[in-house]
Chain A
Amino acid sequence: MAVEQSLTPAGEQTRIHNIGYRHYDGPRLGRAYARRSLFSQSLRGAYGLGRSAKSKVLPMLLFVVMCVPALIMVAVAVTTKMKDLPVDYTRYAILLQAVVGLYLASQAPQSVSRDLRFKSIPLYFSRPIERGDYVLAKYAAMTSALFALTAAPLIVLYVGALLAKLDFAEQTKGFAQGLVSVALLSLLFAGIGLVVSAVTPRRGFGIAAVIAVMTISYGAVSTVQAIADAQDNSGAITWLGLFSPVTLIDGVQTAFLGATSAFPGGHGPSTGQGVVYLLVVLGLIAGSYALLMRRYRKVGL
């Protein structure tokens, strides 16, 4: 009895009011807003933000791995009063291409194959957003994520170089060239990574396929280039570079962005050959975009 008496007033205080269904008459911001929202959601997702704690581990770890060598170089440069940074801005991403490849392999499949695998695509396309918006948002998000990954260590290097009171004009020029280079790299890698992972709804296959395309092609091209170098066939070295994403970027920045080539013997492309490299890179970017558009034409409702 006592229990009941004490419960009654409490029950009245905590009564749930059924306010019924309320209509929404606020603004509807339309396609462009939805595209921006999808972009920011995908970009955050590429670093595990807004996802489970477990999915934050790998991208964050790779981000740190990308930045640590830059920090060490800066520390060394500042303490030993070096006249120049140990590594060119343009060279940094090429040195750490394995980390970039791993990041792409882990994040590109989660960005696109999740929606395919769990068949969420119809939910997007039954809304104002269209196929082009979806592809654009996903492509832009992946590019931005890669750019953040590759540009952050360059910023560390640049700030460090200024702290070490290295030549300002020279460093700024190098930094700008590095940024252009990693922007191009981000566009190219994101395109290839997304196309490869959009082919399969299985994430595991996607990861393996991206690693294969990125890292193995680089390994293969480097090996064949080394053989060509041993045979003193410098022309072959230059043209072989067209067959892997990493060497493509290396070629473009050697020809146009004042970088020293990472090719064996430094046999990077000349400006004329560089035009071919640049055309191939741009062609691959446009091709990736077209392939993604084609891929999503089939998966509507």
Chain B
Amino acid sequence: MIATESLSKRFPRVTALDRLSMDIGPGVTGLVGANGAGKSTLIKILLGLSPATEGRAAVLGLDVATEGAAIRERVGYMPEHDCLPPDVSATEFVVHMARMSGLPPTAARERTADTLRHVGLYEERYRPIGGYSTGMKQRVKLAQALVHDPQLVFLDEPTNGLDPVGRDDMLDLIRRVHSDFGISVLVTSHLLGELERTCDHVVVVDGGKLLRSSSTTDFTQTTTTLAIEVTDSDEHPDGTRALREAFAGRGIETTTGGELPGAGHTVLITTQRNDTYDLVRDIVADLGLGLVRMEQRRHHIAEVFRSETDIERKEAVTHGG
């Protein structure tokens, strides 16, 4: 879908992209980075609107430097900022945008009605946009990016300014853009947690450099850590400590569950064999404690990202020195 090869963009004062090489396939791809990491610059280059200083990029197999117009015909773009005039209705606005994409008048009207329905705008689509909530405006922005049935859409911070419920709705909608509509998505965000749920693939960019590119399952793959929580009893007033000691007696290393509130009652052990579960059951039963919880821990992208960043930084320091 998208391929870049040592893509760089330098402005007189800053380097926005620094030899970025990546390959993005079909599906929902998250582009993560702090503000100013070069996400918007990358989208601009991919739309063929801003020439790269060096390197090459191709979208849908078309070169961004020479076939910009052909790319923009097949790609949709939803900007980060507000871009809707308040005095027209969503229908009028999206019809106009469909025609700007080259759809004949009748097709533009049909596609507008379809697309607005798909993004969840019904009767309100005939009212002026000025009266819409932020969530509805985001839907209109998404609709104008989808109205010409692109093969790929760029969504720039689509959850910006939404409340938690609106955020969830938008993320579900983005998921559906791929699963139901068959349109590939490149979505940017500075929040990793959101993309974890929505994306098949996550690309992490920092300071214009590629930090990491891998599938979401890689990030959040099931770890071998088992979290256990037990009750206290009369015999063992501190059940957690008793459990830890019992594990220590059998030569199994334990750790506490981190610094979160209530995490002090969680014991983490590393599973070595399949019979670890049986072992836990037996130990807890022997101690006469109640087993409240036993679950496999999954990594959050954030943890991976943090450690990756640390490693990169250290490497950078080592190389630099």
Contacts and interface: CB of A to CB of B under 8 A. Distances in A.
Interface stretch (A17-25, A72-80, A182-190, A225-233): A17-25
Contacts of B101: 28, 34, 127-128
Contact of A52 (B87, B97, B99): B87
Contacts of B118: 21
Interface stretch (B74-82, B212-220, B262-270, B303-311): B74-82
A301 B83 contact: no
B104 A27 contact: yes
Interface in B72-121: 72-73, 75-77, 79, 81-88, 92, 96-97, 99-104, 107, 111, 114, 118
Interface stretch (A116-124, A215-223, A283-291): A116-124
A37 B100 contact: yes
B149 A23 contact: yes
Chain B, interface size category, equals 35 or more
B45 to A, nearest CB: 10
Contact of A29 (B40, B44, B72, B104): B104
Interface residues of A, number: 36
A120 B88 CA distance: 13
Label chain A's interface by main secondary structure.
Answer: loop
A26 interface: yes
B79 A301 contact: yes
B84 A118 contact: yes
A145 B40 CA distance: 37
Interface string A257-301: 000000000000000000000000000000000000000000011
Contacts of B40: 301
A28 B102 contact: yes
Contact of A26 (B75, B103, B181): B103
Interface string A17-55: 000111110111111011001100100000000111001
A50 B96 CA distance: 11
A31 to B, nearest CB: 7
Interface string B147-183: 0110000000000000000000000000000001110
5 contacts: A27-B104, A33-B99, A51-B88, A122-B77, A123-B77
Interface of B: 40, 43-44, 47, 49-50, 69, 72-73, 75-77, 79, 81-88, 92, 96-97, 99-104, 107, 111, 114, 118, 128, 144, 148-149, 180-182
